[in-house]
Amino acid sequence: MKSKIKKGLLLFFIFTLSAYMIIFLFYVKDIPKNIKIHFDLLNLLAIILLFFLSNFFNILRVYFLGKIFNREFSFSDGYVFTLGGVLLALITPFQSGGMPFQLFLLSKKRINLGNATSVLLMRGFQSVIVFIFTIPFMLIYLQNVLSTSYVKSLIKYFMVIYSIVFIILLFIVIFNDKLKVIIEKNFSDNLLKRILLNIVNFFSNFQGGLKTIFTKGIKKNIMSLIATFISLYSYFALSYFVIRLFNSEVDFMKAFSLQFLLTYLSAFVPTPGSSGVAEGGIALFFSQIVGKDNILVYIFIFRFISTYTPAFLGLFSFLKIKDWEKSISNVD
């Protein structure tokens, strides 16, 4: 597993460095000579506070969901789940590497695989709720951005991805019980039948987990949703205060709305941790606000605070689990 992490980090660095070089060629074109960073104490405190809020409430999101299935699920478990997942998402395509680790961690807390999958799905669905609730208020600030070919292409890409996922989940919910009956009646008792029944039972547990979240766990689900709003809004607002290091006249809602859009557009990108796409998107959206001389420095500072630091903290997650390295191979 250590070799996989090293390979993932190498790919991440290659994609990220390539993105910085391309941005330099297209935006800066020369050694920056007019970089001016304004260190204001209140602004720096706001950056630190938003960094804390975005990560603290991101941990609380899964803490409340985990509590639904196991009362012993602790804040420390939520920390390992969240920041350990950030690290693995950073170094894997489609940011998918965190999921096997997170499923393994939940299984160690005696949460079966189906219920654990429902936790991951609900966590993602809560982010979609934030998007649906927020996008009407952001459209006024995003009219010019939405008309660009770059954004149009990404939106089409995500419409296809989310449509496929929705259709698959809908098929599972509607036909899972019927599939179980068909398999039991029409398949002889052999290895294939046992494999198919295990798959069907997994999705039964998955459905049961969702029902539990929306019935017995509804209060904790709502608390998790509130934590999701606070975490993501803190993340979106962070861009404004980082921009203020370079431009004190930036409009808060413009910076907030651009970061909001970019965050959702860079999800499920094939490169490790959205490297390349994230940096390119930041350059495209923020170069006019920050200034071309400052854009590379802005990208690095923002990514360092919002992404690299949480991933580094995620490294400590692996120190908390002694035997996960052997067991995770069964999930990955």
Distance CA 116, CA 97 (A): 16
Q: pTM for this structure?
A: 0.82
Distance CA 153, CA 328 (A): 36
Determine which of 5-14, 56-65, 262-271 has the lowest per-residue pLDDT on average. 5-14
Residue scoring higher pLDDT (6 or 88): 88
Radius of gyration of the chain (CA): 22
Among residues 289, 313, 287, 283, the alpha carbon closest in space to that of 16 is found at 283
pLDDT at residue number 68: 96
pLDDT at residue number 163: 77
The DSSP symbol for 24 reads I
Among residues 233, 253, 264, 259, the alpha carbon closest in space to that of 128 is found at 264
Q: Rounded to an integer, what is the distance from CA 289 to the centroid of its chain?
A: 26
Place of tokens 């941790």: 273
Tens-place pLDDT, residues 229-273: 999 999 999 999 999 998 778 899 999 999 998 888 877 677 766
pLDDT band at 150 (very low <50, low <70, confident <90, very high): low
Distance CA 316, CA 320 (A): 7
pLDDT band at 332 (very low <50, low <70, confident <90, very high): very low
